[in-house]
Amino acid sequence: MDVQIMLTMLAKNKVLANEPRTLPEDATLPSVTWQQHSRYVSASSAVKIEENKDMGRFAVAGKEVKVGDTLVVESAFVAVLLAEHAGTHCFHCFRRLEAAYPCNQCTRVAFCSVACQSEALATHHAVECPILETLWSSGASIICLMALRILSQRGLKYFLDMRDILKKGCDVVNSSQKYHPTDYRTVYNLVGHSGMRTALDFLLRTDTAILLFRCLKVAGFFNMHPSESEQELMPDEVFVGALLLHHLQLLQFNAHEISELQLEKPNKIDSARSVFLGGGLFPTLALFNHSCDPGITRYFQGTTVIARAIKNIHCGEMIAENYGPIFTQTPRAERQATLKSQYKFDCLCVPCNEDWPMFNNMNQGIMRFRCTGTEDGKIRKCNNVIIVPTDTSDFMIRCAVCKENTNILRGLKVLQDTDAMFHKATQLMDEGKVRQALDKYTEILGLLDSILAPPFKDFHLCQQAIRHCMLSFGNKSVVSKKVTK
């Protein structure tokens, strides 16, 4: 690579020279809470995968899940960096470039290490290098690039060897085999909702698949002599074309954005912004269904996703992630329309069914106390929520369902204590003591959850602070506001 080009690429990297790209404590991947699942090797044993006709495959809690528990640590089966970040991030692992290692054939990409350089040049970039400029200039979406990368990173022989297995049926979820994120069968069997697609949709995706197929031919993916390339399609080519079309369908519903947290100052988390680096496919995480009030948040270390609980989830309850619309920010009708259009389902989560108010519309004139009705004085048996005005003078409130009294005086005292705790947690966050802040926020959320039932503002403010803390453990960089000349 030309020296001047390399210098220009590195100049685009606005990471402050005296700041590390990640904190030393974040260098290693976390382990899942409890132990590794016996079948779903990227998940915790606290996760159970179930399936029914209405919801398809989904995750539920097999144990009592607590805030902060790590439920999934999964490497991407495939990950593709956006073109706009090719000058600042490793084209293979998405890490910020501190020293750039070039491709020896093109000037479009760089790698963070000899290891990433060697692996990429031996796999996907060996195929994509001569066609990358064409793909980028065509306006191909990240989904299109991922559909092709699934093939380019494994090579033709891998898929030809899989052909008979795929034809016979290979649903790993519905078998006793281990569900591993490096196993292509876990990808192949993700839903693509082909039965819900229109003829126009199929036409457009087929057109895209043909473009990607022709790019692979030009790149020599099929190892054919040039004179053979314009002849009638061979069975191997038809097979690969069909895989491309299949990938385009399943990626629409199962791909995730891989992001980086960009800070203006070191440890200044509250003003940080999340930046879309590229796309990734995580076969285990793809089995988690959506809720507009999700139970987990996700962050990334390189191209590995970490999913952690942001609320307590009882055994048997669904462990939901979020596909985009959050009830605190988006009206119910808009959420429903977005999910129906993009993901082909009607959302039946609690905030949608009960039409929870958005954050700014939450009524601060009431408190939603959990009934403390018990069985034999030990086990809470009533799940009713008791609505209490904030100006009440009563401390014993009778539940309309179980007819037992709830003493709200203790709850009010706990709520009063959480105000000071929240102030302390925020102070720790401002001082850059993120792990200590997370511990404090987690304690607060546990107390709030034991007394009150969401939605209420303090709960969701605390939950958002927990999200911010967790995001800071993933990909992040310090980016100056000063424009580089």
Task: Write down the domain spans for the chain.
Answer: 3-30+77-256, 364-485
Report the pLDDT value the prediction gives residue 414, as an integer from 0 to 100.
86
Report the pLDDT value the prediction gives residue 27, as an integer from 0 to 100.
62
Tokens of 145: 């690039």
* Residues 35-56: b if buried by 16+ CB within 10 A, e if exposed: eebebbbbbbbbbbbeeeeeee
CA 31 to chain centroid, in Å, comes to 17
Per residue of the chain (485 residues), what is the pLDDT tens digit?
343 444 344 444 443 333 334 433 456 899 999 999 999 999 999 999 999 988 999 999 999 999 999 999 999 999 999 999 999 999 999 999 998 999 999 999 999 999 999 999 999 999 999 999 999 999 999 999 999 999 999 999 999 999 999 988 766 656 678 999 999 999 999 999 998 899 999 999 999 999 999 999 999 999 865 545 566 889 999 999 999 999 999 999 999 999 999 998 887 887 889 999 999 999 999 999 999 999 999 999 999 999 999 999 999 999 999 999 999 999 999 999 999 999 999 999 999 999 999 999 999 999 999 998 875 555 567 889 999 999 988 989 999 999 999 999 988 988 889 999 999 999 999 998 999 999 999 999 999 999 999 999 999 999 999 999 999 999 999 887 654 44
Report the pLDDT value the prediction gives residue 11, as an integer from 0 to 100.
47
pTM assigned to the model? 0.90
Q: Answer yes or no: are the C-beta atoms of 434 and 470 closer than 8 Å.
A: no
Q: What totals of helices (H) and strands (E) does the chain contain, helices first?
A: 14, 17
Q: Answer yes or no: are the C-beta atoms of 46 and 69 closer than 8 Å.
A: yes
Report the pLDDT value the prediction gives residue 474, as an integer from 0 to 100.
96
Q: d(Cα 372, Cα 450) in Å, to the nearest integer?
A: 10
Report the pLDDT value the prediction gives residue 484, as an integer from 0 to 100.
47
Angle at 436 between CA 432 and CA 438, to 5 degrees: 95
Q: d(Cα 67, Cα 71) in Å, to the nearest integer?
A: 11
Beta bridge partners of 407: 396
Q: d(Cα 181, Cα 282) in Å, to the nearest integer?
A: 7
Output the CA torsion sign for 140, 146, 148, 153. Answer: positive
Q: Which residues contact 355 (CB under 8 A, 6 or more apart)?
A: 332
Report the pLDDT value the prediction gives residue 5, as an integer from 0 to 100.
43
Report the pLDDT value the prediction gives residue 232, as an integer from 0 to 100.
81
